[in-house]
Chains A and B, each alone.
Chain A
Amino acid sequence: MQNRYSKNQMSLFEGVDGIAVILYLLLVFAGFVNIISASYNDEIEAFSFSQNYIKQIFWMGTAFTVALFILLLDSRFYHMFAYHSYALGILLLIAVLLFGREVNGAKAWFEFGSVRIQPVEFAKIATALAVARLMSNYSFSIKRIGHLVRVALIIFLPLAIIILQNDTGSGVVLCSFIFVLYREGLNKWICIPVLIVATLFICSFLFTPILLLLLLLLLFAVSSAMMIGQWRLHIVFVATICLSAIMLYVLSALLWDGALSGYVSLIIATVGGVLVAAIYALKKNISAMFLTLALFVGSMLFVPTADTIFESVLKEHQKVRILSFLGIMSDPSGADYNVNQSKIAIGSGGLFGKGFMEGTQIKYNFVPEKHTDFIFCTVGEEWGFVGSMFVLALLCGLILRLMKMGERQEEPFGRIYSYCVSAILLFHVLVNVGMTVGLMPVMGIPLPFLSYGGSSLVAFTILVFIAIRLDASPRNGLMSAVR
């Protein structure tokens, strides 16, 4: 077999995962189409280099060249230079912190003429490589605290620098590596709290506090019941809390002029319920139940406490006074405005969208950053639900494909790296698309392959193609051909 490869110079694409490449190309193409319509400026010539989509052609060319180059290199090269690239990445991050240019409040850019480069995009690759290299070491065991700390250090060093750059969004991306750690056998008791916190974070954007509390209550009752059995007891417990909350509410409405809102009633009932359950667990000496209760209380505290007090205890005019004092109210140009406009743009797309270059919200600049971070608005408005689902399906497909590619690796290095890439992509999609539809706070990270921007496109291309190259590793690369 090896003979065939070395004889045939066209063997460059041998072993390369076609599906992943096709998904990648489709995404880049979809991105290009949407960048055209999002950034078309009718005041300058259609083919002028100052049109963003013309620049994007240049970036696409660069990306494809880099991709080819990556496929040419031997897979061992990445393993070999993982730490070097990591060190380089850290240096770049420090350099940008010292000499970089500030854009939108984040000191995260190098500027060469009209070209801006964001080192953080490349630091992600370096970190992924370093994590993969460290964890693929024969002596490495994730069960050992010392080793785990080393992984954490590798992740948190760039993260800290990135946060110092005031580019929190990009930094938090590195947290997605917990995904990889879990795959590699990280204790689920470390993962679950992280997941719960993340879920709550999302949920607090989605639900009203009272609904959130009810959901938490149900969730923990079910998990506790699954752990220790006694389903009937748990059902009675939850029902009692709900009933007493309702009674409290009705009583206060009748006798107390409605002093307690529904939410406050539920909180009081829940606190009572937790105390009762704790006493019960103490008597019966059920340790698992303590753990559940502790987690429950923790997540309850996580639900923005100040916010709930604000919403439920204060009277309307007091709220208005405080809000206007803090300058939160009437801030039409703030973050709320962006998300609102973004939702309007996506929502107005309907099933099939308004068509290419027909999106009025996009065309008339209602959506900020419409060709970069908010590119998904263009997709949503002009291509509708169908287009949005198509793009999401491509992204989902690529992530799953990368995970599958990781699983079929013989070397742990390739597997871990592949998972790192999927984790980074997943986090980007979740936060970016989530923010455009109001599920996530605005964090300012790009949508992989679709958002306009040279560093992001080239960096994601490198990220994915290293994984593709590693997957195709049975084939000899450029270096082995020389041998």
Chain B
Amino acid sequence: MSGGNDAYIRRTILRAIVFVIFGVIALRVGYIQLFDTKYKSLADGNVLRYEVQYAPRGEIIDRNGEYLVQSKECYDLMVTYRDIGKQGFDTVRLCDLVGISKDKLLRVLRDARSAPRKATLVAPFVPTEVKVRLDEYNFPGFHSVYRTMRNYPRKIGGNLLGYLEEVNRNDIKDGEGEYKMGDYIGRAGVEAAYERHLRGKDGVKILEKDAHGAIKGSYMDGLYDTLPVAGKRITCTIDARLQAFAEELMEGKVGAVVAIEPSTGEILVMASSPTFDPDELIGRERGNNYMRLLNNKRNPLFNRAVKSKYPPGSTFKLVQGLIGLQEGVLTPAQAYPCHLGYHVGRISQKCHPHGSPLDLRNAVAQSCNAYFCYVFRDIIENRKYGSVKKGLEVWSDYVKSFGYGRKLDSDFIGEGPGTVPTRELYDKRYRGSWNSLTVLSLSIGQGELGCTPLQMANMAAIVANRGYYYIPHIVKAIEGQDSIDRRFYEKQYTKVATEHFTPIVEGMWRGVNVAGAGTSWRAHVPGLDICGKTGTAQNPHGKDHSTFLSFAPKDNPKIAISVYVEFGGFGATIALPIASLLEEYYLTDTITRPQLVDYVKNLPYNPRHYAE
């Protein structure tokens, strides 16, 4: 056989080619099946649809069990572009049913087209009855997802309760897997502070679908499904009726009311005015409403109760007197003269006309400016500290022990610290050369002092408790938990001993309950033993701020309250009646002075500072 050798070589080469071809294919198949794991997950992604079972968010009730926030069922309408199919659907009918414009629908579909396998949100907050009709028509590619939306039966406490917002990129990043696109997160108030408890845990239902997106049943008979865990119900310390009354009285005014139960530190009222209807920040109109609130000059989204910095005015005299007593530079019997003010050289602090001289009790009741100028100078000029500067340091420490100039560490997010001036501040401002007269305005709560209404209410609680407070908090109980954070059960003592509070409390009592003895007579309600201190804080922007700090009853106090009305004039003009009415309402559940309510509501009030 000629060329037998050649034929043999060719045969071998051909056989080799067959082996090489099959080898390459086998290697490739092996690589795809054994080493490249991405196909496995892609296959799952193909076949499995992970349907999030949104957990209903926890509800919020007030201290008496009344609902502040409820969860209402609603649906998100989603579309999966790929599953719409070639024959399309009746866009007009869909738009009519859901209540969106055709432009909006087309915009959504255009977006959905870029991610054809992903479910894209078409319209949120679809009510149940609409969802049922959508199910009847069964638009291809569309499905609805159960969610809950917030519902506010009493429409109070906008800033207090806060609102929900869709998570943004940062939330998702910070949440470390807790959040995904389309989730809601509490943005302010209780919703934000107790987000972790309210949120619950979303479940997931794994469904098998075919290439057309049609559901073929549950995956592995639901073996890997998880049920949603509903959010915890939160019991607020708020008294809903009192909160509503406070908001009613504050309507049209700018300021804040905070009331605390002194024996527990529980916040009974936290009203920031102007407020907003929390219902406005849910649903589809949310965006527009939010922008409107954001552009409102009076800034209703700013929670004045915990964030603003107000000069405490005369209410601060209580602190001044207490420090003087503790420091031993003042005795209750000590009397100082007042001739329409306190005058040293060119420096003077004016005062209103009243009898002179006054002892400590009457000075508190009459709110004598001169008296507390003496006290303040005695405190910081105390020889044992060597210098005024050292003296001011000591004074600052005292003031901070009352909760001023620092965050109170409440459970409320965004709490402001306020300001208490320190030696360093004045050293810097006056290049080291200053004395007690330079900072004299501090003695009557003016100057560099800034306090939040929460701190002032806490001050009222301290006086009510004669020397200590519980950290104010907004949450009373969390469903499924025996107690709230331990720090809310610990007494926080000031640096002033209990016995020194007696004359101060008596002064506050006299001011309210002895006719002609002080500035607060108007707050008097027979039998309630209200104690109070007015404040009229000067401010450079216009009319004085009106404030009133109060608690009742004198013995075994049930409520401590601070009312602050910006540009409200004298403390007695507007802050005082509001506080008095709220105390009466809380303690007796009645309103015996409807004419005072009318007076408060109809008082001419025009804070020009906020002019549009």
Please tell me if A439 contacts chain B, counting CB pairs below 8 Å.
Answer: yes
Question: Given A183-B14, A365-B210, A384-B33, A344–B39 Cβ distance below 8 Å?
Answer: yes
Mark contacts of A420-450 with chain B using CB atoms, 8 A cut-off: 1 yes-contact digit, 0 otherwise: 0010001001100110011100000000000
Within 8 A of A (CB), among B23-70: 24-26, 28-30, 32-34, 36, 38-40, 42-44, 46-47
Whether B211 contacts A400 by the Cβ 8 Å rule is no
Dominant secondary structure at the B interface:
helix
Chain A nearest CB from B546 CB (Å) reads 63
Q: A126 vs B22: C-alpha distance in the bound complex, in angstroms? A: 27
In Å, the complex CA distance between A350 and B32 comes to: 8
CA distance A388 to B25 in the complex (A): 10
From B15, B34, B43, B208, name the one whose CB has the most chain A CB atoms within 10 angstroms. Answer: B43
A348 touches B29 (CB 8 A): no
Provide the residues of chain A in CB contact with B10, threshold 8 Å.
Answer: 182-183, 185
Main SS class of interface, A: helix
Does B3 interact with chain A (Cβ within 8 Å)? yes
> In the complex, what's the smallest C-beta–C-beta distance from A397 to chain B, in angstroms?
10
Are A366 and B32 in contact, CB atoms less than 8 angstroms apart?
no
C-alpha spacing A407/B4, complex, angstroms: 12
CB pair A364 B216 closer than 8 Å: yes
Q: Are B43 and A360 in contact (CB under 8 A)?
A: yes
A353 to chain B, nearest CB (A): 9
Determine whether the beta carbon of A396 is less than 8 Å from that of B208.
no
Q: Which A residue sits closest to B24, measured CB to CB?
A: A439
Contacts of A351 in B (CB 8 A): 33-34
Interchain CB contact under 8 A, B14 and A403: yes
Number of interface residues of A (CB under 8 A): 45
Chain A contacts for B114, CB-based, 8 A: 330
Residues of chain B within 8 A (CB-CB) of A108 are none
Q: Give chain B residues whose Cβ lies under 8 Å from the Cβ of A183.
A: 7, 10-11, 14
- Measured CA separation A75–B82 after assembly (Å): 57
Q: How far is the CA of A344 from the CA of B39 in the complex (A)?
A: 5
Contacts of B30 in A (CB 8 A): 385
Say yes or no: is A356 at the interface (Cβ < 8 Å to chain B).
Answer: no
Question: Are B212 and A365 in contact, with the CB atoms below 8 A?
Answer: yes
Tell me which residues from 364 to 384 in chain A have a Cβ below 8 Å from any Cβ of chain B.
364-366, 380, 384
Instruction: Provide the bound-state CA to CA distance between A430 and B15, in Å.
Output: 15
Given that A347-B33, A350-B34 are known contacts, is A429 also in contact with B42, CB under 8 Å in the complex?
no
Q: Which residues of B contact A407 (CB under 8 A)?
A: 11
**Chain B, residue nearest A407 (CB):** B11
B21: A residues at CB distance < 8 A:
426, 429-430
What is the CA–CA distance of A439 and B27 in the complex, to the nearest angstrom?
A: 11
**For residue B46, which residues in chain A have a CB less than 8 angstroms away from its CB?**
341, 344, 360-361, 364, 366
A392 contacts chain B at the CB level, 8 A cutoff:
yes
A332 touches B39 (CB 8 A): no
Bound-complex Cα distance A332 to B82 (A):
9
Known: A344-B46, A361-B47, A364-B211. A392 touches B25 (CB 8 A): yes
On A, residues with C-beta under 8 Å from B are: 179, 182-183, 185, 202, 330, 332, 341, 343-351, 360-361, 363-366, 380, 384-385, 388-389, 392, 395-396, 399-400, 403, 407, 419, 422, 426, 429-430, 433-434, 437-439
17 pairs across A/B with beta carbons < 8 Å? A185-B7, A330-B114, A332-B116, A347-B38, A360-B43, A361-B46, A364-B47, A366-B211, A384-B33, A388-B29, A395-B22, A400-B18, A403-B11, A422-B18, A429-B21, A434-B25, A437-B29
Which 10 pairs across A and B sit closest by C-beta, in order of nearness?
A347-B39, A348-B43, A364-B210, A365-B211, A347-B32, A360-B47, A385-B33, A396-B22, A344-B42, A366-B211
A364-B208, A366-B47, A407-B11 given; 8 more Cβ-contact pairs under 8 Å: A182-B10, A346-B32, A347-B32, A351-B34, A361-B46, A385-B34, A392-B29, A396-B19
